Amino acid sequence: MAEEVDGIFIYRQLATIEEDSNLVEIYSHLAESEQRHVDLWQKELAKLGADNSLPEPSMRAKVLMWVARKFSPDLVLPVIKAFESDAASMYVGDSVAELEMLPADEASHARVFAALEGSSGVSGNMISRLEQRHSSLTSRDTLRAGVLGSSDGLVSNMLLVAGFAGANPSQETVVLAGLAGLLAGSVSMGLGEWISVTTTREAAQAQIAIEMEELRLDPDAEKLELELIYRAKGVSAENAQMLVESIFQNPANARDTMVREELGINLNDIGSPWKAALSSFLLFSIGAIIPVIPFLFGNSTAHVLFAGGLCAIALFALGSLVTLLTGQSILKSGFRQMAIGVSIASVTFAIGWAIESTFSL
């Protein structure tokens, strides 16, 4: 009950501090929700014959609101979001709280604060621009994954092959080491990616199932929560209500929107674990085969130098591709990548040569 008293105090204080009428209404709604929780715990304490008088707000809550008044409410939003998340966890497993949907309420409050924290009341046009920016970042992430996957294959197998080549074994030994490194690395990368994406998708599906149950049990509360999230992003009360009503006319639409806005989940963004595994396997293999190619034709000094030159060119190319993400100089990024890769490969070559010399003695 003391935690809920703090919540009421914080929300009412924020409502008096804020000048934006939209945010004032949001905080007032949250305070009303917390008041319902306080009423519940007062009744439960009364049933036990215990003292159910309301305590004073805690020093923590008072200090937070002092910071909000003196500086900015934005400074305390992450802290309040954490409080709400903790409250949701605290109520899980409590039969009284779960019957009255308190964990769902607290989780809802945390999501509203996440929207406030991320947007600070931005306008609809700004949201549109942010969404466009998100789309462009998605394509950049794809390019980033491709560059890093190929780079992992190239660098790891280049060092392996360089170490073997330094020991000056037979051609077959170098090729075998290179192909073994390629196969081991690409399978490891592919399997790791498959596990990662599968786990992410399954966890997302579990969260979606919980959200759908909440939507089935209390659709009005979910509507209100979605309205508050849109209003926290800067949409007017009237437009937020109209938008939510329109969304909820189609059950599939309502489901997808609630999942996206409340949970921040889009299964399409997670993708297929098999596609992710295959792409990781192929990208790593493409990079890893480069240092092996010259040794398919021999194992002389010329082949070693040719392999070094080929890897240097590949490193420069990958470093140059990174500039599409960073906007830096192509020459600077390319030569930096090439210098680092060739230097480390030279060290592993020298280690291989030293081992061969030692054991030859």
Q: Which of 80-89, 152-161, 240-249, 314-323 has the lowest mean pLDDT?
A: 80-89
CB burial of 319-347 (b: ≥16 within 10 Å; e: otherwise) equals bbbbeeeeeeeeeebbbbbbeebbeebee
pLDDT at 194: 87
pLDDT at 269: 64
| CA nearest neighbour of 196 among 95, 276, 311 | 276
Q: What is the pLDDT of residues 222-280, one digit of tens each?
A: 777 777 777 776 777 778 788 888 888 877 777 777 777 666 666 666 677 888 788 88
State residue 236 phi and psi, 5-degree precision.
-65, 160
What number is the average pLDDT over the span 17-46? 84
Angle at 176 between CA 175 and CA 177, to 5 degrees: 90
Give the range with max mean pLDDT: 6-10, 26-30, 86-90. Answer: 6-10
Q: What is the pLDDT of residues 55-79, one digit of tens each?
A: 999 888 898 889 888 888 877 877 7
Find the length of the chain. 361
Task: Name which residue leads in pLDDT, 25 or 82.
Answer: 25
Answer whether residue 358 shows pLDDT above 60.
yes
CB 171 within 8 A of CB 257: no
Q: What is the pLDDT of residues 164-215, one digit of tens each?
A: 999 989 999 999 999 999 999 999 988 988 898 888 778 777 777 776 776 7
Answer whether residue 37 shows pLDDT above 90.
no
Q: What is the CB-side half-sphere exposure of residue 42 using CA atoms within 13 A? A: 12
Distance in Å from the first CA to the final CA of the chain: 79
Q: What is the pLDDT of residues 269-309, one digit of tens each?
A: 667 788 878 888 888 999 999 999 999 998 888 999 999 99
Answer whether residue 116 shows pLDDT above 80.
no
236: left (phi over 0), alpha (psi -120 to 50) or beta: beta
Q: What is the CB-side half-sphere exposure of residue 231 using CA atoms within 13 A? A: 25
| CA nearest neighbour of 54 among 63, 45, 64 | 45
Identity of the residue numbered 332:
K
Answer whether residue 313 shows pLDDT above 80.
yes
Q: pLDDT > 90: what percent of the chain?
A: 22
Identity of the residue numbered 161:
V
CB 11 within 8 A of CB 31: yes
Spatial distance between the Cα atoms of 190 and 283, rounded to a whole number of angstroms: 10
pLDDT at 272: 78
pTM for this prediction: 0.54
CB 212 within 8 A of CB 255: yes
Spatial distance between the Cα atoms of 59 and 57, rounded to a whole number of angstroms: 7
Spatial distance between the Cα atoms of 117 and 81, rounded to a whole number of angstroms: 9
Q: What is the pLDDT of residues 118-177, one digit of tens each?
A: 554 433 443 333 344 344 444 444 555 666 778 888 999 999 999 999 998 999 999 999
pLDDT at 344: 92
Q: Which helix (H) or strand (E) holds 228?
A: helix 219-232
